[in-house]
Amino acid sequence: MIDFTKHFERVYVINLDRRPDRYESFKQELAKHNIVDVERFSAVDGTTILANNIPLLAGEIGVLESHLAIIKKCKEDGIKNVLILEDDVYFTPEVNNLDEYLNSVPNDWDFIYFGGNHVYGTPPELVNEKIIKLNFTVALQCVAINHTMFDIIEAILPKMRKQVDAYYADLHKTFNAYGFYPNMAKQTAGFSDIQNRNVDYTNFFRDEK
């Protein structure tokens, strides 16, 4: 059995109320790996938000607002860290070695990416055989955020000038963002409610150091 709550005080999956199908697929993915104790977080539906002068798609606004809502809730509840998953995540066999990977993460972490797209910007740097230090990594299918980032995230996300993963990526060089090598979590190909189109990012989740 794999229990993320052994390592993180809160574990949420973001899921739109109008996409119960995605939640069912997500639960099947958890069952496949015997993963337990992931709480559903009702996603903010960006189609319900007035987006005048905001250069983002409705889905991008929704996921940004969902992250912001989670961070605010964690702050209010005095939570020290949170693991946030997207409902189209899938896990590689490396998830069976979760404890070993997390024990390899330096204690000064601000972000932990279970997977990510490293093909833009400055490549990551090797920390040890399982961990890389990120300089500009995007994609948020499974990311842990420490309380050290809560105030900063709460301050920058309301600006809504770019996608939430780009906001986080801009922080990587200043703060301690680590990732698993190889990727432990990737994104299932299919229709994206964020992009409002079919996507396949398989080639972007390269396991490169």
**What structural domains and CATH numbers belong to the chain?**
2-196 (3.90.550.10)
Give per-residue burial for 81-108: e unless 16+ CB within 10 Å, then b: bbbbbbbbbbbbebbeebeebbebbeee
Sequence-distant (≥ 6) Cβ neighbours of residue 99 within 8 angstroms: 6, 7
> pLDDT below 50 — which residues of the chain?
190-192, 194-205, 208-209
Neighbours of 166 (CB within 10 A): 14
Residue located via tokens 């992931």: 38
Between CA 172 and CA 190 the distance in angstroms is: 28
Q: For position 178, what pLDDT does the model report? A: 98
5-34: pLDDT as tens digits: 999 999 999 999 999 999 999 999 999 999
User: For the chain, what is the total number of helices (H) and then of strands (E)?
Assistant: 5, 14
Q: Give 138's strand partners.
A: 117
Sequence-distant (≥ 6) Cβ neighbours of residue 147 within 8 angstroms: 74, 75, 79, 80, 81
0.95 exceeded by pTM: no
